[in-house]
A and B are shown apart, each in its own frame.
Chain A
């Protein structure tokens, strides 16, 4: 199984800048949607690969633990404050998990498969598995993967209460979105230098359903050469994406790197190349 990863971006700032061109399109959007659209805009601005692939062959996979949970509460606010007949239809429609991917599809012209998936433990790995299958089955030629979460004080407080009662390590979720682009065919890459991750092998061993389970409190190890990068399990997607940036920096001095990422649920074997495709 081989796929090619182009770029990766991390946003963890609630007040992410939205370009003027997007402001109008996002005037009704909630924070979850804005994060997802912004991270997509950033990744697409870094390269023009998308222009080489037809809209029908561009897929989106949006993976999350909780989706727009706070938007759901804002909708309930309108019901509690104004009555059942006066709940906000705009807030309700944005409380659905797939609203953000719908925005991305419209704004950036993605007309291929769209999947919104939820997993409490490893959303990014679930998305990666699905993306690789879409590429293998030729249902898409480019897959945009996003992992996103928005901060929820209610949820963080609830998790804190449970953690205190059970001596678990406290965890808290905050605003972030990560985007990856996977393609299978290198012909779509233009005459530019890219740092490219070749995923040679990806396998999920098992999932664990409970983010509070103490059995998950172990490190995920990302190793390359003799270096081990330690990362925490709860924000695996963010940490992994950050580590990819470090790996990219190392590539400034190396031609290629082999690496192996292993966690309780699976592993990814890959190579990272610095290439220049000749025009």
Chain B
């Protein structure tokens, strides 16, 4: 395979309800036990009368002193409180972990062209209900909330913490944001714009997103069941995942490679995907062209697989057209919930783990596949050995976005 088409993944970090490392997360999947961490919303996140369960992390995200020592100078320089919000806390814990995993010291980054691309949904929005309520009622509001918001652009936070200079960007492509962030980062590395790019996605479980998805009637009162006959909606989640990408020619240590990336719009509906998955099919074809591989090389697909009727049919239509039932398909939403802007990044890292292990575990929550879905979705309690180390991780989004990346495990 032509190495010029490859982008090396030299570091990974994950934080989600299914684990605090890619290895943890993958082993949880292998265990194939239905997790007990899809629960009602605890008060430490927010108070709500609605009863839709979700996947979430503990109250305190950053618990280790060394992580605080790492980020405190940034907070002090910007005159910020201990942590401006939960999304930033998730991001910074993950940043600390990914630098260790990539064996990178912050000081050695200062002389390199280091880019940052972060996908998010909640992380770019002023989601402060209390502040808005006070404003509505014409009560006093401490503008620190606004100041924190204006200091919370996620990509720029990473730049500030690491004191690096280079292109940086926050991607707000809704549920495909994490996939697109990694895709854009791979373009930056391929073009030589950057030596290294820190890329991924992060989103906290916010009350506005929780209520909004419930108001859209997309959430389930039970743990989600992607592609199952009795599926009835998604569960929200929270988390973060980051990768460090580099050109293979500069790299000794690799965890795998990004081979290709595709991003295509449905131009169909504000919130629903194209029912025949037209945009998704084209995005996959675009990624395969970019990767310069044969479609028969694909050994597995990590689907978006939210557990909503519309999503699962759209994905199944696209994948059936491209792969028939020859390629194993999996969804990991039954372990993490739908982490919105972080989902694509979390799933890309999980896919890399599966490829490196040449093993595709089953889909938690899938017990009896919808008979209208003709693709080879691996059910819970089953697993399939893969024929090679090349696979796809894909995301669909509000607004009609379809994005996918093609990954390859290390040699």
Say yes or no for B259: interface residue by CB 8 A criterion: no
B208 — which chain A residues lie within 8 A by C-beta? 72, 75-76, 92, 95
A99 — which chain B residues lie within 8 A by C-beta? 270, 398-399
Most central of A77, A97, A117 by chain B CB within 10 Å: A97
- Contact among A92, A116, A207, A210 for B215, CB-based, below 8 A: A92
Chain B residue at minimal CB-CB distance from A210: B151
Asked whether A89 lies within 8 Å of B160 as measured between CB atoms, the reply is: no
Say yes or no for B187: interface residue by CB 8 A criterion: yes
Say yes or no for B397: interface residue by CB 8 A criterion: yes
**Bound-state Cα–Cα, A89 to B279, Å:** 24
B146 — which chain A residues lie within 8 A by C-beta? 155, 158-159, 161-162
Residues 161-199 of chain B, each 1 if its beta carbon lies under 8 Å from chain A, else 0: 000011111111110000010001001101101000000
Say yes or no for B136: interface residue by CB 8 A criterion: yes
CB neighbors of B among A128-169 (8 A): 129-130, 133-134, 136-137, 139, 154-155, 157-159, 161-162, 165
Chain B residue at minimal CB-CB distance from A107: B267
**Bound-state Cα–Cα, A84 to B270, Å:** 22
Chain A residue at minimal CB-CB distance from B133: A80
B270 — which chain A residues lie within 8 A by C-beta? 93, 99, 102-103
Asked whether B184 lies within 8 Å of A115 as measured between CB atoms, the reply is: yes
Asked whether A114 lies within 8 Å of B173 as measured between CB atoms, the reply is: yes
Asked whether A93 lies within 8 Å of B271 as measured between CB atoms, the reply is: yes
Q: What is the CB-to-nearest-CB distance from A2 to chain B, in angstroms, rounded to a whole number?
A: 14
Residues 115-127 of chain A, each 1 if its beta carbon lies under 8 Å from chain B, else 0: 1111111000010
A60 — which chain B residues lie within 8 A by C-beta? 265
Other A-B pairs, 4, CB within 8 Å; known A87-B211, A119-B168: A87-B215, A97-B121, A102-B265, A206-B165
- Contact among A95, A102, A154, A210 for B150, CB-based, below 8 A: A210
**Which 3 residue pairs spanning A and B have beta carbons closest together?**
A102-B399, A158-B146, A209-B156
**Bound-state Cα–Cα, A129 to B215, Å:** 37
Asked whether B400 lies within 8 Å of A92 as measured between CB atoms, the reply is: no
Q: Chain A residues in contact with chain B, CB under 8 A?
A: 55-56, 60, 66-67, 69, 72-73, 75-77, 79-80, 83-89, 92-93, 95-99, 101-103, 105-106, 109-121, 126, 129-130, 133-134, 136-137, 139, 154-155, 157-159, 161-162, 165, 204-212
**Bound-state Cα–Cα, A89 to B135, Å:** 23
Asked whether A112 lies within 8 Å of B153 as measured between CB atoms, the reply is: no
Could you give 5 example pairs across A and B, Cβ below 8 Å? Answer: A83-B49, A110-B267, A114-B263, A207-B156, A207-B165
Knowing A92-B216, A93-B216, A98-B174 are in contact, say whether A130-B169 is a contact too (CB < 8 A): yes
Knowing A87-B211, A92-B215, A111-B264 are in contact, say whether A102-B400 is a contact too (CB < 8 A): yes
Say yes or no for B253: interface residue by CB 8 A criterion: no
Asked whether B265 lies within 8 Å of A116 as measured between CB atoms, the reply is: no
Asked whether A98 lies within 8 Å of B173 as measured between CB atoms, the reply is: yes
Say yes or no for B126: interface residue by CB 8 A criterion: yes
**Bound-state Cα–Cα, A212 to B190, Å:** 34
Asked whether B153 lies within 8 Å of A118 as measured between CB atoms, the reply is: yes
Most central of A72, A113, A159 by chain B CB within 10 Å: A113
Say yes or no for B48: interface residue by CB 8 A criterion: yes
**Bound-state Cα–Cα, A43 to B266, Å:** 22
Say yes or no for B381: interface residue by CB 8 A criterion: no
Chain A residue at minimal CB-CB distance from B171: A117
- Contact among B127, B174, B264, B398 for A72, CB-based, below 8 A: B127
Chain A residue at minimal CB-CB distance from B127: A72
Asked whether B212 lies within 8 Å of A110 as measured between CB atoms, the reply is: no
B174 — which chain A residues lie within 8 A by C-beta? 96-98
**Bound-state Cα–Cα, A269 to B23, Å:** 47
B398 — which chain A residues lie within 8 A by C-beta? 93, 96, 98-99, 102
**Bound-state Cα–Cα, A209 to B147, Å:** 12
**Bound-state Cα–Cα, A210 to B147, Å:** 9
A89 — which chain B residues lie within 8 A by C-beta? 212, 215-217
A92 — which chain B residues lie within 8 A by C-beta? 208, 211-212, 215-216
Say yes or no for B141: interface residue by CB 8 A criterion: yes
